[in-house]
A and B are shown apart, each in its own frame.
Chain A
């Protein structure tokens, strides 16, 4: 078989330029698909990494129910908001480790002459444990009744740097939404979350935030459940507590990390289907290129086919020669495309370091496998033509 392969390959190497041109279609097809999927996979990993940096046993509850039909207050009864008392009730569940009611909004933070409009999170001192980040300097205000508005703030590292530069911010005062807060802590850098700069924000007691933003409910309740507990059990327990408290209505939405990742998976699947369609079209074009080339090759080598039949090549072997040739062409084209995509990805990584890319080994294997299959597919008809030639007729053509 090694020698039959060698014979098939000799035809390709004797027409280098022509072979190269005929596999251009498949090279471009495979190359662009590898490029797109590598960027897609890089993005997926990036988002996954970003989401799980907060921990995988984090659950958030938002007011309102996506599936609710009807107008609240008229047909659907009263719509309850999420309150601090709801958070306290959830905290009493044994499977729940920590609960943070969150009220957030945008507000101006002023320190002397300098001011900066940033995101303000009204939280409790449990937030570092829930979001898995740490205080670099100072600390949060003391634990206590979350409904008590205290005039203390913790600044994100970037906000602190913008307002205070390198001087010590602890004990300094800032004005947030018109109220005076004493800086008690500075967070350590956490970086961006989906392009949103967490470091450029301030944390104040939830009751204070509700007062600044003039509301009597929270935007969101987040909690962390015990690692030993099952997520479905916890969600069910929490839902029951809230439904009881809300007069039998499920007027809130519980989102687990898993569910969020699932949604992201759906988006990625759509991208995958789109890339798959591109792949299909380009492979079809590539296959036609190889089919054409092989069809011409059979015509050109008719007398050679007659000869090898006369000296003892079976129909099957003639077929194999042309199938191998088509498969080798296509796989070679795929390899060229793959190499091109890799080179382009390397270029992208140096030119645009922010664009996440990743090429798993399975992509490489798949690209070559699909190229090979395409070659076999496009070689079938020319190979059949070659093997069905009458050797006498074939020998006569010169």
Chain B
């Protein structure tokens, strides 16, 4: 379970202070599927970084499974990232000189897992995303969708409780995007907590609920019908029944 209480994050830019997150309060239950939406610069990424223990709030508390992680030191945060959190990125972030299987093994390399167990687990994870026949291919021999599926296998191989995805389909055609989203749904059905940052209403509609952010605040929480009817977020979106960009506090 994730609990955010009065989380603020500000950056010093020159003499001025940019407030990326302002008093964010949110609870995400285990096994939930939450989408985070909002225009560029609204604080989605900062929120995701804090949830992923890559960044620390300036003030406020972040509880992960009842443990306060906002006060942890660098080594402890590394430990949390390693064992509790999986990351999926828009640009896949596969290591180009390693094969798909080796990329999946990578988190276990840093966790110090013994090589035979490592290999077995990586093979299982690769099989899970339907790429056993591509295990020995390097990323440049894989399509975009296949790359993201490898990244997905890598994100889940350590058995984390929380998966954070930043625009997971942002670089994919609709067919392979759907494949990736189906995989994410399946993982979520098996109990994995899923937080997805996206611009795409189609992606957001798959979530249990969506958080809409503007200027560092969560300005709306959409569920059910509201979520179903969501049309678009951010610049260049088609006007719809719920144009969230026009919503203000």
Contacts and interface: CB of A to CB of B under 8 A. Distances in A.
Given A310-B81, A311-B154, A392-B49, A14 B97 contact: yes
A308 B110 contact: yes
Interface stretch (B26-34, B87-95, B206-214, B221-229): B87-95
A395 interface: yes
Say whether chain A's binding surface is mostly helix, strand, loop, or mixed. Answer: helix
Nearest to A310: B87
B78 interface: yes
A315 B93 contact: no
Interface string A302-316: 011011111111110
A11 interface: yes
Contacts of A11: 97
B54 interface: yes
Given A3-B118, A14-B97, A312-B83, A317 B54 contact: no
B111 interface: yes
A2 B118 CA distance: 13
Nearest to A391: B54
A10 B97 contact: yes
B52 A310 contact: yes
Interface residues of A, number: 26
Interface residues of B, number: 31
B54 A7 contact: no
Interface string A360-398: 000000000000000000000000000000011001001
Given A3-B115, A7-B109, A392-B54, A311 B97 contact: no
Contacts, number: 67
Interface string B90-120: 0101010110001001110111100100100
A311 B54 contact: no
In the A-B complex, the 9 residue pairs with the smallest Cβ-Cβ separation, listed nearest first, are: A312-B82, A14-B97, A313-B110, A3-B109, A314-B78, A311-B107, A307-B93, A310-B87, A312-B110
Given A4-B109, A311-B107, A395-B89, 20 more contacts: A3-B109, A3-B112, A3-B118, A6-B109, A14-B97, A304-B95, A306-B93, A307-B93, A309-B54, A309-B78, A310-B54, A312-B81, A312-B83, A312-B110, A313-B78, A313-B110, A314-B75, A315-B74, A315-B78, A395-B54
